[in-house]
Structure 1
Amino acid sequence: MNLNLLPWNNWPLQIESTKINQNFLKLPQMIPGNLLSKGTPILFVLLWSTGFIGAKLGMPHAEPMTFLSLRFLIAICFLVPLVWWFHAPWPSNPSDWLHAGIVGSLVHGGYLGGVFVAIKGGLPAALAALIVGLQPLLTGILAGPLLGEMLTRKKWMGLFLGFLGVWMVVSEKLPEENSFGMDSIFFASLALVSITLGTLYQKRFATKLDIRTGAV
């Protein structure tokens, strides 16, 4: 009888493997909270800004909704393992699923769809970024009557300076001659309205949803 084949000979390896898996699952809790709070906005800005570049590069080769469908499919392939890793809770009742669907339709469907269709129609990516860059200002204007949140003078100044910074960056890249029609402006404006309403709706009805599963 070969004693090396006995099951308890592999127990140390199995125990060590179990410890590694448990430590791997605990990695999210090991990340310092201040690192997450400071790193998440930076990551958001990088992903948000590069979206216009991706749209400009991809639109000559694909239809807007086809491009977005592939983009969402790739994103799901990354997000689902992250949801499992973080043990993030899914919506627990039909109303939460409905709220998540409405927010997703506005923020992802209306906003991204409008931007991509506008750029496909010839709107420069810089001008598209400038139009949707009005979103913080528009949200601040509507947050008072819709959510009862009044912004302080410092916050208004910060929003204005933020938009001014966007304008200073993209203004030099705007074309002197228009190579696009009013339909492109319409879809870019639709994107602006969609992400604004989506943000306000999420604040009003979907604050209890976990952002990780909500993104899926």
Structure 2
Amino acid sequence: MKNIKGELLLFLTAIIWGTSFVSQKLGMNYVEPFTFGAARFLLGALILIPVILYFDNKNNEYNNDSNDKNNKFLKKDLFVGGTICGVSLFFGASLQQIGMIYTTAGKAGFITALYIVLVPLFGLLTNKKINKLTWIGVALATIGLYFLCVNENFTIQKGDVIVLAGTLFWAIQIIAVDSYASKVSSLKLSFLQFMVAGFLSLICAFLFETPNLKTLVDCAGPILYTAIMVVGVAYTLQILGQKTTPPAIASIIMSMESLFAAISGAIFLNEVMNLREYFGCILMFAAVIITQLKTEENHSLKES
């Protein structure tokens, strides 16, 4: 029963993440990319504060000061991990946001989901072996990306390339989270990464854009949705869901954000893909699932 509850929470997380692409797309009608990023990340970080306090009071997590040396080590890991995650999050989100000016929410969702395929590939840098199913997934993802982004004239939209570049940083961010989440409070790590990403976005907004209060008020809906629902609600649901759901299954469920991005883009933004692009989406979604099935297979081997 706990597994079913966790899977339902992760499914809801995927819905929120997927529909957030619509809010991000709409937000570009009012404010520029860095301004939007600064507003949603800083507001999202503030929203996480009561969540952190709640879990601290409930679990008394990392509040044992009996070992000062260990406590200092945890604080160092939190600072280093939060900074690395925040910087990669800043680049990933900023490139995604800029790219969505020139491409659709649905395509951006599927391209972004490629981070799940890239993560095991990055394992090659640490001499990790790649399973055959992963290579099949990489091949399918590459072919799918071709059909989704490259048209009959062998040209690719600028927005697709920018979103794809951001996907590299999403993969780095996931690897960094995986490295530090077991060492420190995951909520505090998330809070720090949002603060870092928010301040970097704020600096770039004042350097390269012209933010003003009126446009921020006009963009209140998209900003509040991405800050409250995506950062505050979805991230908390992800943590609760992953506590009772195996990693492989959790990854597959959360990768469905790309599907919900396409559906919400069609419903709310009247986005329409041609048959070539739909075929590319199918191949890319299959690649994501196949890549994670490999992980599930490995977990089964370890457990046996």
Query: Which residue of the other structure, out of 47, 55, 70, is the alignment partner of 1:86?
Result: 55
Match of 1:204 in 2: 179
Match of 2:93 in 1: 112
In structure 1, distance between residues paired with 2:35 and 2:11: 28
Shift of 1:210: 1.9
In structure 1, distance between residues paired with 2:2 and 2:129: 27
1:33-52 equivalences in 2 (<5 Å): 34=3, 37-52=6-21
Query: Which residue of the other structure, out of 67, 77, 82, is the alignment partner of 1:100?
Result: 82
Query: Which residue of the other structure, out of 162, 166, 169, is the alignment partner of 1:191?
Result: 166
Q: Deviations over 1:120-159 (max 9, x none)?
A: 2x22112212221211111122234437364474x777x6
Matched, 1:70 2:52: no
In structure 1, distance between residues paired with 2:115 and 2:46: 29
In structure 2, distance between residues paired with 1:148 and 1:76: 34
RMSD: 3.6
Mapped contact 1:140–1:151 kept (Cα < 8 A)? no
Query: In structure 2, the residue corresponding to 1:215 is in which secondary structure?
Result: helix
Deviates more, 1:203-212 or 1:70-79: 203-212
Match of 1:6 in 2: none
TM-score in terms of structure 2 length: 0.47
Match of 1:61 in 2: 30
Q: Deviations over 1:32-53 (max 9, x none)?
A: 9546633442233123212211
Q: CA, structure 1 residues 86+151, in 2 after alignment: closer, same or farther (shift >3 Å)?
A: farther
In structure 2, distance between residues paired with 1:134 and 1:82: 30
- Letter of the 1:56 partner, please give it: K
Mapped contact 2:181–2:189 kept (Cα < 8 A)? no
- Whose radius of gyration is greater, 1 or 2? 1
Q: Which has the higher contact order (CA 8 A, sep 6+)?
A: 2
Match of 1:135 in 2: 115
Q: CA, structure 1 residues 52+193, in 2 after alignment: closer, same or farther (shift >3 Å)?
A: same
In structure 2, distance between residues paired with 1:57 and 1:176: 29
Q: CA, structure 1 residues 76+205, in 2 after alignment: closer, same or farther (shift >3 Å)?
A: closer
In structure 2, distance between residues paired with 1:41 and 1:147: 31
- Letter of the 2:86 partner, please give it: G
Q: CA, structure 1 residues 176+58, in 2 after alignment: closer, same or farther (shift >3 Å)?
A: farther
In structure 2, distance between residues paired with 1:48 and 1:149: 31
Query: In structure 1, the residue corresponding to 2:13 is in which secondary structure?
Result: helix
Q: Deviations over 1:13-62 (max 9, x none)?
A: xxxxxxxxxxxxxxxxxxx9546633442233123212211111111110
- Letter of the 1:101 partner, please give it: T
Q: CA, structure 1 residues 147+61, in 2 after alignment: closer, same or farther (shift >3 Å)?
A: farther
Overall identity of the aligned pairs, in %: 18
Q: Deviations over 1:62-116 (max 9, x none)?
A: 011111111123312321001000107478322431111111221x312211111
Aligned length: 174
In structure 1, distance between residues paired with 2:50 and 2:4: 21
In structure 2, distance between residues paired with 1:56 and 1:176: 26
